[in-house]
Amino acid sequence: MKIPIFILLFFSASLAVIASKPVKPYDELQRPQFHFSPEKNWMNDPNGLVYYKGEYHLFYQYNPFGKEWGFMHWGHAVSTDLVHWQNLPIALTPDNDSKDKELGTAWSGSGLVDENNLTGLQKGEEKTLLLFYTSKGMGQRLAYSNDKGRTWLKYEKNPLIPFDESDDARDPKVFWHSPSQQYVMVIYRRPNNNDKLRGVSFYTSKNLINWEFRNHVAGFFECPDLVELSVNRRPDDKKWVLFDGDGSYVIGLFDGEKFIAETGKLWSDYGKNYYATQTWSNIPPSDGRTIQIAWMKGGEYPDMPFCGQMTFPCELSLTKYVEGIKLTRKPVKEIALLHGKGEVWENKNLIPGIQKNLLHGLKGDCFHIIGTFNIKTCDSFGFMVRMDKEKNGGEITYTTSSNSLNCLGQATVVMPVNGEIKLDILVDRSSIEIFANDGKAVLTSTYTAKEKSEGIYLYNTGGELEIKKLEVYPMKSIWE
């Protein structure tokens, strides 16, 4: 039987259309599905994090011209739940209409609500939103919005702090310090171009326009942040936490002008892709949370239209342990909005070589895994995620002899508590974040997975492992 030529042509054309059908935006192979990333081009440091009238504003370093660093603008997105993001137009462009890769470009900074119109810039009923930023080679500058952040104007009398070629000042973080009734700016500086002096300087202001230098602390580099947190959630016991660009931190006292360290530098993340942390300003007291996000530095996204993703927003706390006070970090509760129908196991004993993979029925590229494990007699246990047909994937391992938690080649010590280890794991298409023992230790890592790598495997070696409770939720896309 001969098939008419027009039918053959029809089917050939149909197959060609199907084969050439482009992947829809935000559904590419390496595209994070529940971590923020730009639709296209380069992204790095989070900037200008501020909350106003039900919206969390996220700004970020952005190159609108390509997938490499340079020509910095401020990209902009907003969310009502810290999970689903709406992209808005670019907020800040280079000063003086600069076309240079660096000079005049909009480097990192912070955001704030001018609650009492101290700047005199408010023009209507909406409070003025302020962005403090470094203009490369042109000093510390101010931009403002009178329409809930939809459009932005540069302050006519910029710069607030003039450029000084001898100090490399950048990345201002501004916040209200209630005890001293003034605003504080913490900013990275390298006085006299001396690397031994590079660190954080403190400036103060009563009106958010005129700033006075107060003090300097050496030993820090880039993107500082300073926040006050309660210890064990006690309102009468608070400490200040000063963050460095790499997410390391120092706990101490702060009087509005001078920071006094009470610890050495501590690590808040033991992964390889955690950088430029920043917390949101103006979160209502009724919420009570301090929420932080960071850039996953060094991530690779081959053949993708974008380059860069953020960590998942996390709540910060200070917890007192036997060895001292430590920062703890855990995903914000809103993550539950993304949970698909999950599976739950309780009181399961696993013996190597007998039980099949407990998770054998699950497949996917995005999961939230929450588990409490009694290590009993096992030598090690862990997960293989994003596993392909050749059994390759991202390995997460806890080794009992060394009490070490390892993910993608990065490791940290996690001590059992009453013989138990708690793990809270976020698996996205191109990243893994692990929060161990209620966020006492965290590992943030990016990876590049192969297509159709959707297997997930739970294993233990050497002896018995008890699963006190294990929850595994497939994650919905924030872009649907």
Q: Decide if 45 is catalytic.
A: yes
Contact 320, 47 (CB under 8 A): no
Contact 61, 47 (CB under 8 A): yes
Catalytic residue among 27, 45, 95, 147: 45
Q: How far apart are the first and last CA of the chain?
A: 46
3-state SS of the chain? CCCCHHHHHHHHHHHHHHHHCCCCCCCCCCCCCCCCCCCCEEEEEEEEEEEECCEEEEEEEEECCCCCCCCCEEEEEEECCCCCCEEEEEEECCHHHCCCCCCCCEEEEEEEEECCCCCCCCCCCCCEEEEEEEECCCEEEEEEECCCCCCCEECCCCCCECCCCCCCCEEEEEEEECCCCEEEEEEEECHHHCHHHCEEEEEEECCCCCCEEEEEEECCCCCCEEEEEEECCEEEEEEEEEECCCCCEEEEEECCCCEEECCCCECCCCCCCCEEEEECECCCCCCCCCEEEEECCCCCCCCCCEECCECCCEEEEEEEECCEEEEEEEECHHHHHHECCCEEEEEEEECCCCCCCCCCCCECCCEEEEEEEECCCCCEEEEEEEECCCCCCEEEEEECCCCEEEECCEEEECCCECCEEEEEEEEECCEEEEEECCCCEEEEEECCCCCCCCEEEEEEECCCEEEEEEEEEEECCCCC
3-state SS of 405-426? EEECCEEEECCCECCEEEEEEE
Give the residue numbers marked as catalytic. Answer: 45
